[in-house]
Structure 1
Amino acid sequence: MIAQAVKEEMARRQQEAARRMVQRQMALQVASVRERLEWFAPFLVSSATFLFLGYRKTRNSVVLYPLVPMCFALGYQVDFAFGSKTNRIKNIAESIMRHEGHLIHVPEWHYSDPPQAKSRWASPLSRSSLDMPSLGAQVKI
Structure 2
Amino acid sequence: MGSVIGSAMKENMKEQIEVQASMQRNMMERQIKLQLMLRDRQVAMQLARGREMFNWYATFALVVSGACIGGFRKTKNPAVFAPLLPISFVTAYQWDMCYNGKMNRIRAGAEKIMADEQDLIGIPAGPPSVRKIDEELRKTI
User: Scaled by the length of structure 1, what TM-score is found?
Assistant: 0.72
Cα distance per residue 1:17-66 (max 9 Å; x no partner): 12112211211110111121232111111100011111222222221121
Instruction: Provide the C-alpha distance between the structure 1 equivalents of 2:24 and 2:62, rounded to a whole number of angstroms.
Output: 57
Indicate whether 1:113 and 2:135 are aligned. yes
Hey, what does 1:15 align to over in structure 2?
32
Runs of 4 or more consecutive aligned structure 1 residues displaced over 4 Å after TM superposition: none
Indicate whether 1:73 and 2:90 are aligned. yes
* Larger displacement relative to structure 2 (103-112 or 20-29): 103-112
**Displacement after TM superposition at 1:16 (Å):** 0.8
Say which structure, 1 or 2, has more relative contact order (CA 8 Å, 6+ apart). 1
Q: What fraction of aligned residue pairs are identical, expressed as a percent?
A: 33
CA RMSD of aligned residues (A): 1.8
Instruction: Provide the C-alpha distance between the structure 1 equivalents of 2:117 and 2:78, rounded to a whole number of angstroms.
Output: 46
Unpaired runs of at least 5, structure 1: 116-141
| Secondary structure of the structure 1 residue equivalent to 2:32 | helix
Larger radius of gyration: 2
Query: What code does the residue aligned with 2:80 have?
Result: V
Higher helix share: 2
Unpaired runs of at least 5, structure 2: 1-17
Hey, what does 1:44 align to over in structure 2?
61
The size of the alignment, in residue pairs, is: 115
**Displacement after TM superposition at 1:3 (Å):** 2.5
User: Scaled by the length of structure 2, what TM-score is found?
Assistant: 0.72
